[in-house]
Structure 1
Amino acid sequence: MFQATRSQFSPADIASQSTRQLGQTLGAVGWYGTQAGSGELQSNAVEYANALAEQVDANLDDNGLVNNGSTNQAATQGIIGQGLLWASELDSVDHTDTATDVLGYMTDELWDGDAGTFKSGSNADTYTITARDAGDITGGLNAADAVLELSGVKDTFARFFNQTFNRGRLQRAERPQSRDENAEYTLPLPPEAGGEYGQAAVYNTAVEYDPAADEWSVTDDRFNTEWALYLANQDIWIGQWAGDFYQGRGRPWHSDSPPSE
């Protein structure tokens, strides 16, 4: 798959569609390259990763803003930051400083502390967040904490999750194991929640926040399988599910140790 992607899609082609795609591709190359199986294949991954990062640089402002991304700027920043950090796990690839600027812009300029969520853009009147956007933002926060160890990231994610997923109803049903009857905002359980099925969180496709009214609304209540699975995959790296240890943080070539009893 890597060889086909590399031969068919130049970094400039990917960037021309959306710089957001650069982030996802960088992350995938980081995973592939750290376990490519031969020196030649790893060298190809390094070359491709650095070329992708050059396209990020070509679309980057001095303050860390990535241009020509998705309509949700925080999502663009998040996935670009994660992709740069995952790719930087490869030998001869180091774009940590760029990732720091990109994720710094997301947390400093796009975080709305009063709302407990991220702005779609610095001057946005309302904030539209899709399940895919939330996956990109979550991935960026996970990487910022796991690699950069930026202060306050865990608290930011906790507020983002509580306001956007719970209060905002991006998540429309939750797993029985994660349900807290005393939580500020509770969600219904999915059908058949007590049995073998219905164990995964269920997401709406898009929600919107109005800062002036301090109100959330569900703007698309359909279930987008692709985006939902992507968001669930990003969410799983944040912490433990049902109190059981889940190995790693999604960082290529790294594995965490279970907590001691």
Structure 2
Amino acid sequence: MTATSGNQEASNGLNWLDANNFEIDGCRFTIDISASHERRPSTSDNFTLVKTRRFLATYDALASRLEGKAILELGIFQGGSLVYFDKRFRPKKLVGLDLRAEPIPALEAYVATRDGAVKTYYNTSQDDEAALTAICREEFGGEVDAVIDDASHAYDLTKKSFQILFPKLAPGGIYVIEDWAWSYQAAAQKPWRGQFWKTGLATLLLELVGDLASNHAIEKIAIDRTMAVITKSAAKDSQLTFRSGALRARRSPKV
């Protein structure tokens, strides 16, 4: 994606003010990917977005699969991504959940203007099966078009969310896993860093590739250096197995 200059309006509706600030429909966003404890809080007139231009370009490429759809986001940080998805893609229903207990004032002020089209759930873990099932039933009628996982980035929690929510995707729906490659990054290569000992999300993608190869639940997996996009097939009664039994008696690597 090429940045626009001045007040020139981009074809995707983003009006770039400078390298890290843009507006959509008069709503301002600031990209801030500094350490989590240093990131600016969102304000009612300027939302913090922890997504680089590369992320935004990937979502632009998914526009036809997000516009006017039912979207569930796991992990909302300061709420900037939820507002971005709403402004950029105008989904018919948009729900975000987060483990944090305290509501985000700027986000809640925005949600109040959306007449129920945008909802938030706090104090909700991404692996809480009862909560996720209830949200899908009550907010989406049991079926969602897109799930965007930008929550813990932990293997066990992310896999649990996938197990719960992928079956609730509509046929042809997409499941986006952000930041899948963290285990390959420099911060995870040092034994004294906590990340060194954790299983990376690439392990989950390897397991899902097994389903892609030998099952019918997954239609396609598209991966770039920031995101993995898993498309659900239209096959009937196909169950995810993570293909643990299709490795020729070999163990799946944990990367």
TM-score normalised to structure 2 length: 0.30
Q: Point out the structure with the larger strand share.
A: 2
Q: Point out the structure with the larger helix share.
A: 1
- Which structure ranks higher in relative contact order (CA pairs < 8 Å, sequence separation ≥ 6)? 1
